[in-house]
Chain A
Amino acid sequence: MDERIFQQITLLTGRRPAQTLHVFDIDGSVFREHLLFHLMYAVSQAFPERERQLHSFCQWREQLGVGSMKASVFNNLVLQCADHDFFVGLPFEKVGEIAEREAQRLLPQINEFSHELITNLKGWSYEQHPCVLVAITGSPHEIVAPFCRRLGFDIVASVLYRTGKDGRYTRDRDMESAVRKGLVMDRIASACGVSWEGSIGVGDTKWDIEILKRVTYPIAVNPDQELTEFVRAFPQVAYVEEIPERETVRIFRADDEGRFHEADYEDILPPYAAQLMVPIRGMWSYRTPFRTLV
């Protein structure tokens, strides 16, 4: 596993023993879009030699917007572009600066449910409910680290694009946190000396199934169609539907037939976390009185 993750764990466990780890995927689950895409977009604007890719990014985004391209195809294209040596040769320092700026700019674009949950979990004092927040994501460390740091995550496992002696990116990468999240989780748990008992796990694609299978309180936020099928088959996984355009959130649990029923915080979270969560607009428990339009 990436040395930097071990350093984070050592630093953390040196300060206080970890008790409960809560795991979050970032892209789609916490951040509404794709951090990798935004980083690549910003980088291609800054480096004239990446102008050709910028043109493709604009086209894909347009196609995604009009519905002629599926979100999964869009994500695959973005990943393929990153795989296709997009970062190779670029100076680490400048990309890092761009990533810092982007992380700050994109911070408001996080899902309301995940934001409420993270704020709530971080709000407990260590003596009351000692917990550690872990982010496991397929986006590059340059952008994920500042993004997650601002949200209060303790451990960040992300894709590492390695650099050469000249400070420029090489072809060498550590992709483990993107494709083998279960393995990364096991290593983090064993390094911290804890189990996943009582943990919350949040994901949005089939790559997060390993996360959802391990934790006690699995939650799928705006899951893609493959994960939705998984949620229907495993009713212990909660389904959170968030529509940013309508500024609403709803929570569901599947029954034995795979049919979703509207639920509330206490149905999907540990009691200590559920009791302080504030209902979000659109939830059944929010119950906005109907306002007559003037």
Chain B
Amino acid sequence: MLAKEIIEDIQIVSTLLHTLQADASDIDGTVNVEQGLIQIELEIGRTYPERHKIVQVVEDGWFDYRNRRGTYQPVIREAVRIIPELFTGLLREDVKRLCEFVVKREGSKTYTFPRTLYQVLLARPQGERRLLLAITGSPYDIAVPLCKELGFDAAVGCYMLTDNRGRYTGERDERPACDKGAVMDELAEKLGIVWNYGVAVGDSPTDIPMFQRCSFRLAVNPTMDLQAWMRDHHEVNVAWVADHQKTGTQIKMPDDLGRYNETDLYHALPHDLARAFPPLPGMWRNPATQV
């Protein structure tokens, strides 16, 4: 079950905006270049020297990955494994302050396309505006400041339980990391959130449930596993967004053979969004849809 705090957040914002229709986006890897969980763990290791030993394995793996001597998977596996040991006993308020500091430092490392897409989604006129929700595997306490920075209406992250003194117990709700479908269904059931005709943005196989529930699906720099799934399930029509500082942004859609061909935004987004979307460097402009 999702934490009361998360449910209340979404309830308040949906009441304020008079809508239950929502778009969903992953954060880590999709819009944010860095992984929130890893960054906060490294910061805890720096702030609490007695816990640095626990973080060491993540720090070493991260260093190797950044210097292209190692892969990402073992780093994130270790980062998840050490959560109970690392967080247990820490005061939530202290960690929240650290999270805000990390977001201030790392929050600007984002991809251009999703950032622009959020701006366009949030600028929709009243009546057409939908909730913009982040569903992320990062801890809830880092997801909140990061999503605030990016303009999200609310964030659903892995909620970590605290005892009556406000200290983490080491237990957490892992569903936003590994079962986003269950999270979306719970929000639909409890609050009446409607995902149909929404936009889903992701980058890894854990985001597939979002693609299955929303009507417009975008994978930003998808991982190998998601790429394979996208090609094998080309009928789902997940748009492949390549977003790089050097080459710019390109949108591609699959053909019947699972081969991706460039297209304009009108094939990947609702028409009002495609019209409002500013041209980004590197993007193909269809002469037929240019005014």
A residues with a Cβ closer than 8 A to B are 28, 64-68, 70-71, 108-109, 222-225, 228, 232, 241, 243-248, 250, 252, 257-262, 281-282, 284, 287-293
A68 surroundings in chain B (CB, below 8 A): 108
Whether A71 pairs with B261 at a CB distance below 8 angstroms is no
Contact of A287 among B228, B242, B246 (CB under 8 A): B228
Q: Jot down 30 A-B pairs with beta carbons below 8 A, ordered by A.
A: A64-B245, A66-B109, A67-B108, A67-B245, A71-B246, A108-B68, A224-B246, A224-B247, A225-B248, A225-B281, A228-B247, A228-B248, A246-B221, A246-B222, A246-B223, A248-B224, A250-B260, A252-B262, A259-B286, A260-B250, A260-B261, A262-B252, A262-B259, A262-B261, A282-B227, A284-B231, A284-B258, A284-B260, A287-B228, A290-B232
Interfacial chain B residues near A252, Cβ < 8 Å: 262
B205 CB contacts on chain A under 8 angstroms = 290, 292-293
- Alpha-carbon distance between A245 and B71 when the two chains are bound, in angstroms: 9
Q: Which of A243, A257, A291, A292 interacts with B244 by CB under 8 Å?
A: A243
Min CB–CB distance B121 → chain A (angstroms): 21
| Shortest distance between the CB of A20 and any CB in chain B (Å) | 29
- Considering only residues 132-154 of chain B, those with a C-beta below 8 Å from chain A are none
For window 105-137 of B, CB contacts with A under 8 Å fall at 108-110, 112
Distance, CA A67 to CA B32, complexed state (A):
11
The interface of chain B, by Cβ under 8 A from chain A, is 33, 68-69, 71-72, 108-110, 112, 205-206, 221-225, 227-229, 231-232, 242, 244-248, 250, 252, 257-263, 281-282, 284, 286-287
Contact B228 A288 (CB under 8 A): yes
The distance from the CB of A224 to the nearest CB of chain B, in whole angstroms, is 5
CA of A248 to CA of B242, assembled, Å: 11
Among B225, B245, B248, the most chain A Cβ lie within 10 Å of the Cβ of B245
Contact of B246 among A109, A222, A232 (CB under 8 A): A222
Contact: B224 with A247, CB < 8 Å? yes
Q: Which residues from A are CB-within-8-Å of B232? A: 289-290
Contacts of B287 in A (CB 8 A): 257
Nearest A residue to B242 via CB reads A241
